Amino acid sequence: MASSTSLLLPTAAAAARRSPSGHRAPPSAVLSPPRRLATLRCLGYARRRAQARHVVACASAASAGSLDALIFDCDGVILESEHLHRQAYNDAFAHFGVSCEPASAAATDAPLYWDEAFYDDLQNRIGGGKPKMRWYFGENGWPTSKIFETPPSSDSDKEKLVDIIQDWKTERYKEILKSGTVKPRPGVLRLMDEVKGAGIKLAVCSAATKSSVIMCLENLIGLERFNGLDCFLAGDDVKLKKPDPSIYITAAEKLGVQSQNCLVVEDSVIGLQAAKGAGMSCIITYTPSTANQDFSDAIATYPDLSNVGLEDLKLLLQKSLVTG
């Protein structure tokens, strides 16, 4: 009788393999207590190793992402300058009688004039003064002027026209900067001093003509800060303008730092694209003319640098690398 009963009842091992609901129990449940303990210890050890690897990876990324160089754009970042450039261009067009009107309308002597809305759109799509004019004249016809009575047709004459207008415009822009009415944007000088005081490299990279950028920096940040820059590059120093990343790639080489350890301060999507193309993180300090642009690739956006400190930038860069 006892033997028949044993045939009908499940063994202890079989019972252990099934949960109360009748489903098969997990493997750890069928192990003997010593083996189960050993298995749980192994699982716990594996989890701890995975967590440790994650912590080490994050720490390594944060270390690799230390802030070694802060790079400022000039126009729109150190100063709100686009309205000043627009004024200088329009003064140049008037000075040389530049007109893209058809011949039948040329008698009005109305010079080319870039209004605020048009220039905001233009400067946010095309970096550099000469490329702006080349694009505009290419789209609207090469102009008549005091330089060439008839529209230039050869490439050499077209370049001569652009060069002459740009040179005069640059001198006019310098005059405006020397007037003493232009001030740096909030927080710029303080942040520059913090960076230099911390032994971090400081640079300025602008798409504008070198002579005009030098004039701007000497008047707005002062000779001492300007001479203390670890790197200064202008549009003349590279073949391709922003959004091409050449200027920022060149800056990293001159500074002797890795691109991932550089942080760029820009004000427009053109500059943002140039920084990202160079493998650099970028923060945006937008202006009224760039506020509506898509800055989703920036690691932070600010109306200005009033409340931005060096420690904020270090944390932003480290977080960007770890999460990225």
User: Tens digits of per-residue pLDDT, 29-86?
Assistant: 455 555 655 554 555 545 555 554 543 344 444 445 699 999 999 999 999 888 888 9
Q: pLDDT: is 24 or 68 the higher one?
A: 68
Boundaries of CATH 3.40.50.1000 in the chain? 67-79+184-319
Asked if 217 and 77 touch (Cβ cutoff 8 Å), the reply is: no
Work out the average pLDDT over 257-279. Answer: 97
Residue 57 has what pLDDT?
44
Inter-helix orientation angle 155-178/210-220, to 10°: 10
Considering the candidates 73, 230, 244, 267, report the single residue annotated as catalytic. Answer: 73
Task: Quote the percentage of the chain above a pLDDT of 70.
Answer: 77
Find residue 144's DSSP bridge partners. 99
Boundaries of CATH 1.10.150.240 in the chain? 80-176
Mean pLDDT of the chain: 84
The answer to whether residue 120 is catalytic is no
Q: Could you give the strand order of the β-sheet that contains 231-233, starting from the edge strand earlier in sequence?
A: 231-233, 201-205, 69-72, 262-266, 281-285, 300-302
Stated pTM of the model? 0.66
Query: What is the CATH T-level fold of the domain 67-79+184-319, as seen in this structure?
Result: Rossmann fold (3.40.50)
Q: How confident is the model at residue 289 (pLDDT cuts 50, 70, 90)?
A: confident
Query: Residue 88, CB half-sphere, CA atoms under 13 Å: how many?
Result: 20
| CATH number for region 80-176 | 1.10.150.240
- pLDDT of 248 > 60? The answer is yes
- pLDDT of 285 > 90? The answer is yes
Q: How confident is the model at residue 123 (pLDDT cuts 50, 70, 90)?
A: confident
Query: Residue 200, CB half-sphere, CA atoms under 13 Å: how many?
Result: 19
The answer to whether residue 73 is catalytic is yes
